[in-house]
Amino acid sequence: MKDLYNQVKTMSNTNSKKISWATTVVGSFPYENTKENMERAFWDQIHAGIDYPCYPQLVSMMDQFFDPAIEAQSGITKKGNQYYLEGDFKVPSKPIALKYGQFVLDFFEKYPEAKSKVKGWKACLTGPFTLAGEIIVPPEKVNGKRPILYEEPRAIMNAEICSQLATMMADVAREYVNMGASIISMDEPSLGLIIGKRKILFHPEETFVEILNKAIAPITAQSSNQLSAQFSPQSSIHVCGRISPRLRDMLLHTNVNIVDHEFQKADNEGLYTREHLESNNKVLAYGILESSVSYQTDGNLDTYVETPAKLEERISQVVSEYGKDYLILKPDCGFGGLKDIFGQELASEIVRKKLANLTQAMKKF
């Protein structure tokens, strides 16, 4: 027994299965939501040389989970564009929103040649707090808490509902582990608004950590099972925008493997040190490509896309700061927003070129 324990300990210390010095994306792409475009957007990533392509998220990160949650009679309802919970929340009896992972499995079956071009694939899920921030609840559900930040009481102010949403998302994550996803992300943009430099809203830090750990538990359980696991899925949390030191510390205290942030649009330079990552056993998914691009009257593909030389400069800087073992390189955030600015054709061309330039620039290191 002791030997087994030591063996496990050694293996987890060497952390041989962690994913680093690889490329991935956040998830959304500037395409209309059709089956054909799902394939196009997945091929775009594979042809650009992305190591861990994500299933293309062509629907909003809210609808992706709320629509099936409504169907599963969770108690959530939709009126206009808003989600409501009037009674109690009921965790769906079966895991929801699995068709995106099924798409990936079908894709690799249809195009077996694609599989050898990637190291694995990624699933982008929406985290419990971000989902809860979208659900309007009656005032009695938030114990008289003032709806700071939001105009009306929201489920995010109720720890129990957040925890139930974490269970719902853990059920989804477990299925993605079974489907063989290599990186499973809980996207939590809302956390950036709630955990500021001075103030932390609605709950103590421990509650946030506990609920996030619950949502990623099926992933972390599998990835720490080093003896039996042939493959070891990595959990990730994506928070965009500027990250406060308090939020950084909170994320470092969770069990997550990968912390994923913007570094081009948001000034997060120097937020993490190599020591932070090393001592908390984390990898930094570093936003090295700008994902929000402004329209320019005389703009063209070359003005909208970072050159490989520019990217080499950025990469060289982060490699010297963190080392390759602690880095995954990726765009800041999703690319979905580019569709309305440039239209599908130019927007997707911009994305293809950005991703290809990134993988090309990385070859120099």
CA distances (Å), 176 to each of 55, 86, 95, 167, 256, in order? 12, 30, 10, 14, 16
Report residue 62 as tokens. Answer: 């809210």
**Distance separating alpha carbons of residues 317 and 339, to the nearest angstrom:** 31
Cβ-based nearer residue to Zn ion, 224 or 292 = 292
Q: Which amino acid is at 2?
A: K
**Distance separating alpha carbons of residues 27 and 126, to the nearest angstrom:** 11
Stretch that binds Zn ion, among 32-40, 212-220, 315-323, 331-339 (CB under 5 A): 331-339
Q: Shortest gap between Cβ of 40 and Zn ion (angstroms)?
A: 22
Residue 159 as a binder of Zn ion (CB under 5 A): the answer is no
Q: Shortest gap between Cβ of 189 and Zn ion (angstroms)?
A: 5
The 10 Å Cβ neighbour count of residue 14 is 10
**Of positions 118, 311, 333, 347, contacts Zn ion by CB under 5 A:** 333
Report residue 163 as tokens. Answer: 């925890």
**Distance separating alpha carbons of residues 223 and 178, to the nearest angstrom:** 12
Comparing C-alpha atoms, which of 247, 76, 248 is closest to residue 154? 76
Q: Shortest gap between Cβ of 57 and Zn ion (angstroms)?
A: 11
The 10 Å Cβ neighbour count of residue 198 is 6
Here's the x/- map for Zn ion, 285-324, by CB under 5 A: it reads as ----------------------------------------
Report residue 39 as tokens. Answer: 């394939």
C-alpha 181, offset from chain centre: 13
**Of positions 136, 240, 266, 289, contacts Zn ion by CB under 5 A:** 240
Cβ-based nearer residue to Zn ion, 26 or 72 = 26
Stretch that binds Zn ion, among 47-55, 233-241, 264-272, 315-323 (CB under 5 A): 233-241
Q: Shortest gap between Cβ of 27 and Zn ion (angstroms)?
A: 9
Q: Shortest gap between Cβ of 337 and Zn ion (angstroms)?
A: 10
Q: Shortest gap between Cβ of 61 and Zn ion (angstroms)?
A: 9
- Binding residues for Zn ion (CB under 5 A): 240, 333
